[in-house]
Structure 1
Amino acid sequence: MKKGFIGFWGLFIAYFIFVHPSIIYYNTYHTSNNTENGMLALFYLGLSFALWTIVLGSTLWLILKNGILAQRNLICIDRHGRRIQAVIIKSQVLKEHQSWVSRQIGLEMSNFSGETVHHTMIMNDTRPNEKRFEAGKTIFLKVDPDFKKNPYLLMEGSKSKINYILPLIWLVFTAGVIAYYQYAYSTESDGLGWRFLELFHPLLVIPACFILFTGVFYLIFRIFIMGNKTGRDLLELKFKGKKATAEIVQVRQTGTYINEQPQVEYTLQFADQNGKLFHISKKEIVSLLDIAKVSALKQREIMYLPERPEKFVFYDEINND
């Protein structure tokens, strides 16, 4: 269900980025001399190159970051990471294959600060007959103590391999972009060079829409859903954080809605492990039905970094697995 939902919206957005601009452009009358000013045409060409460089460069970086670089980081974490003992409190088979099983496990452990936290992992069990990952069994994690090496933690003794499909898709996509430049020039230039380019040509609109759509979704996810924290921030707070009870001074609606769900802002205060008082605030999207309950809250448990107490998260945000 979740994969189908993501797939549908992925195709829907891809249509408006790649297909819709082309349909509009090629069903509208154009000439080979859309831009009579040759310098302006060269500017559009340079702008197009710049936009596509941003698109292709950023996607390549993400692929390398979560592929080759992540593989190198995993080796480093396995050798030098901090060892944490964890108890499996729940184990669920997601999919059975001929020689291995995809499994989701829920873990309970003490973090670096001695606080009890929960964490969920999805892993591939290559020896399912040994029942190593049943509820009640103990495993060990290796965690990057500085949280600088993505993906920051792994199961001790686990092995991983690089997925070369994404780099291959990137190469095919890049070849497609180059081929489209050649196709557009050969069919639209009519001996006038790049004067057929205009501001709304797909060579400019497609990368611009890609950057716009991904930027908007990133901001919505990062600011309104993740609370301006990255996955790295949340993992660091989970594995290094100290638990505290914060007093709620005020709860107010900000006037922002995401999917018709209101955003509220908490004003809180808490004392760290040294007794120093901190005044903090945090925004959160809540259910419209829970507004009255949220407004009546007097306290909420938080996790904060002992060395940076102003960096915090609600305890149930990272400990609801």
Structure 2
Amino acid sequence: MPTFLDFEKPIAELEGKIAELRHLSNADDMNIAEEISRLQVKADKLLRQTYSKLTAWQKTQVARHPERPHFYDYVGALVEDFVPLAGDRSFADDKAIQGGLGRFRGTPIVIMGHEKGTDTTTRVKHNFGMAKPEGYRKAVRLMELADRFSLPVVTLVDTPGAYPGVDAEARGQAEAIARSIEACLKVKAPFVSAIIGEGGSGGAIALAAANHVIMLEYSVYSVISPEGCASILWRSATNAQEAAEALKLTAADLKALGVIDEIVPEPLGGSHRAKDQAIAALGDAIERALQSMHNQDGPTLREQRRDKFLEMGRRGLSA
């Protein structure tokens, strides 16, 4: 059974009862299939009703679900012959940003993204997806490699934000993020980015200044986390729900604002409930986006990308 979020407690109770009945049926050979079927219909209906009216804060919780597919889940399912590339050739290898070369459905690509980890050990190893300067400098190195060999770039974004520690600031965190954004805008190859969980602040945009930006249905993308916003505006993180609504961080909000280009629907209950289905759906969206850019030359792709983000700035100034 999946890990249930706070707002899913009624669903958890029903699915718990179903699991108990199935256990009894298996152990005692009791004919309770009809009762299980009735409860399953009820649970499915409740799940559908719940997810049809999620608030921005609830979608944030789904985006942070620990069992959502992460970078290596997508790479393992979608990329053949993946060769990881490590290090920024200056200081260290940052584990929060992973990347390398591989074949995506027959096409050679450079793929990179944030990796949060799946348990305590790997989360600590990957610093919970919060990259340090060397992570963004590694991303720049990979984008320059893609540019040199005219390889499409695919990025998978899933981070609460760049690492805010003193050591990261001492090594030029802001400069590294700016250089990564600059590298995104300079690439003369097809560039697709997907927000697969959290897209937090500069830590996200550093990998997401792409020609085509995709968001999974229950992912979020914002300049600051709801808790961070609430702490600044209300001096208390308890106002996070209110902040989430104001930030317009959901996929539907950002599509309406023109910040992203496409929303990929998730399986009922979120990607963590049907990982293979969710990964395949995102793979199809990435493939369509890359195919749409196949016949465009490098300078055209670069200009289109730059104009797209400059236009967002102009809209912001005129709003």
- TM-score range (shorter-chain normalised) is under 0.3
Mark the structure with the bigger radius of gyration: 1
TM-score by length of 2: 0.23
TM-score using structure 1 length: 0.23
Q: Which has the higher contact order (CA 8 A, sep 6+)?
A: 1
Higher strand share: 1
| Greater helix share, structure number | 2
